[in-house]
Every structure is written in structure tokens, then in C-alpha cells.
Amino acid sequence: MYTFLVTFHLMGIVKKNSLREYWSTEPMFATPFFATLFSQDRFLALLRCLHFVNNATAILSDPLHKIRNVLISLTSAFGLVFVPYKDLCIDESLMLWNGRLAFRQYIPSKRHRFGVKFFVMCDVKTGFVQDIIVYTGSTTDIKHYEGLGVSGSVVMTMLAPHLGKGHTLYVDNWYSSPTLFQHLLSKSTGGCGTVRSNRKGMPAFGCRKMRRGEVEFKENAQQLALKWLDKRDVHVLSTVHTATVSATGKVDHLTGERKIKPDYVLDYNLKMGAVDKADMINSFVECARKMTKWYKKIFFHLIDTAVLNGSIVHRQLTGEMITEQGIFVIGCTVHIQIHYAIIVTISHPPTHCLIIV
């Protein structure tokens, strides 16, 4: 099974239009290495039979019952193998899926727009994916907190193991609210994020017209809110920053003046992109291909995430900088070949088969 998974990851590096092309004997397109791992028929049979639950004992009311065991195992492992640094961020990720699915989502701002939505918590410094929750609508696996709504409950569910440890959370305006940040503050956890101006508890800002680059601060209990005019009004809320501004290093070409931004806008922009960065890295070597079954697509998406986390842990332990995710995947392939696979050559390359021991 290890070799089966690694074969899929190699397919993420060597891109082809269909699975059968990896066993093509055409000189222009041939990749004979894949035939030394599996015969085509054996590989496709394993993929077709891939299943993660006993249907006789599955909880059919759970929308994720076909993948729940794998999801629990992997997310539990993520939390055990890595202790995050101070800064964490939570954001949404979308896995492409155009087929029928009750909890398929449409997010126009994402690259794929249609697909399965994940709530993802990342360590800002390393990009390690700390936790994942699959969004399934009203049945999403979160603990509901009174007064915090769905978005606040998502945050509290994911942060639960890390509360009281001095972390700072960065989120966007779907999650941020004075109520949530005050609740986090009571758990010794800071918060920073863009926020909707009409959130309950937000201080009122003046109605005067502001010039571009101008900023207005309002203090609300232990929270600091700002209104800053960029291309449009930007509202930010923080419990860990002060009312200061800094030069960005850029110059306004019209006025010749140095551009300045509030410090916690600079900090937010720097630290909020960890989830998008993880998506970007995975997109280069993702093994999740076009599937007829949604749960198989989620499975391979989770495996991609596990490999990304593995490369981050490897870098943290060894100090070795792996500049490309594909190089790490190839290293894993060599290791698994040595330890888990016995390659048996039959009369000709396309029919080589693999015995997994």
C-alpha cells in the first residue's frame, strides 16, 4: 500500500492526461519506471477497490462516513507530531469537485470556485497544517459555542488544544468579531484580523471623508480597532497590537511621499497567507486526480497535505532546506522502494508487477 500511494505521488510530478498513459509503450511518451512498480491492471484494480470503511458498521447519517476514519487518523497525527510556534492562522481551502455532492460549495474568490470546502489551521512560521475540518453544512463536525455563531465555533473547535498557551490567531472577516476576540483573550490567546464594520460590539468611526492612506484608531476595552482607507475602507481588529504606523518601503509616485501602513495591517498581510501558501505548494505536485468518487478525491487531498507536513517536519528536524516539494516526494519514493517493495521482473517491462510485503 505504501508503494501504491507513492506511485500516485510520482504521478503528481510526472503529469499526464490519463492514468493509462503512465504505462504507454510509445517511445515519445513512455515512462517505464511506473511499470516496474505495478502492472497497469493491478494498479487500476487497487484504485477501483480503494475503500476506507466497513459499510455494515458505518454511521450512514454522517455525510463523511466513507472517509471519517482516515480524516480522524491524519488530523490526530498532525496534532501529535508538531508543536506550533506562536502565530496561527485559520482560513478556508477549496478542493476542486464538479460532481454531485450534497455539501459542494461555491466560493468565487477561490481558484477552483466549486468544490469541497475545508477549514484549515496552519502554523504561520512553517506552514504546517495543524488541523482540518471538512465543511458539510449544518452537520459540520464542530462544537457549538453560545454567542459565537458558526464562524466563532469553528475557531474555538480548532484552537481548543492550543488555548491558554499564549498563541496569536490571524483570521479574515468571516471569523473576526469583538465577541470572539474577547473570548480568546480570556483564554490567554491573542487575535488579529480584518473585521466587518457592522459586527456587534464594533466601535463607531467618524463619518468624515478620509484621504487614501489615512487611518483612524478606536479602543474598545482591551481591543484596538482601526479604519484605514486604502482602495476602499479596511477595518481591522486586534488584541495584540498598538496604534502605530510604519513605512512600507514604497513611495507614492504621484506625491513622492513614503507610503505608510498601520503596523497590524502589515503584520496581518505577512501572516495571513499560510493556508493559501500550502494550497499553492500542493498544487504543483498534487496526486489528487479526476475521480468518480468524492471520498477518494478527499483521501488523496489529505495525503498531499500529509506529505507537505512531512517535508516541513523533515526541515525542522534536519535543517535541510528542500526548495521543491517534488524533491521530497522523490526522496520518499526511494526510501519506500528500499524498505517496502520487492520488484519482480516478468518477461517484459509493461507487465512488471509488485509484491507488497
pLDDT digit string (tens) for 71-112?
999 999 999 999 999 999 999 998 888 888 999 998 887 777
The confidence score (pLDDT) of residue 77 equals 94
- pLDDT band (50, 70, 90) for residue 337: low
Residue 215 has pLDDT above 60, yes or no: yes
User: Which residue carries 454567542 as its cell?
Assistant: 147
What HEC string does 38-79 produce?
Answer: CCHHHHHHHHHHCCCCCCCCCCCCCCCCCCHHHHHHHHHHHH
Mean of the pLDDT values across residues 242-262?
Answer: 81
What is the DSSP track for 193-258?
A: EE--TTSTTPPPPP-SPPPTT-EEEEEETTEEEEEEESSSEEEEEESS--S-EEEEEEE-TTT-PE
Q: Hey, what amino acid is at 314?
A: H
- pLDDT band (50, 70, 90) for residue 350: very low
Residue 67 has pLDDT above 70, yes or no: yes
Length of the chain: 357
Q: What is the pLDDT of residues 122-139, one digit of tens each?
A: 999 999 999 999 999 989
d(CA 228, CA 246): 13
Residue 26 has pLDDT above 60, yes or no: yes
d(CA 90, CA 119): 7
d(CA 325, CA 304): 10
Residue 58 has pLDDT above 50, yes or no: yes
247, 206 Cβ separation under 8 angstroms: no
What is the DSSP track for 98-163?
A: -S--TT-EE-TTSSS-EEEEEEEEEETTT--EEEEEE--GGG-S----TTTHHHHHHHHHHHGGGT
Q: What is the pLDDT of residues 267-301, one digit of tens each?
A: 988 888 888 877 776 665 565 666 778 999 999 99
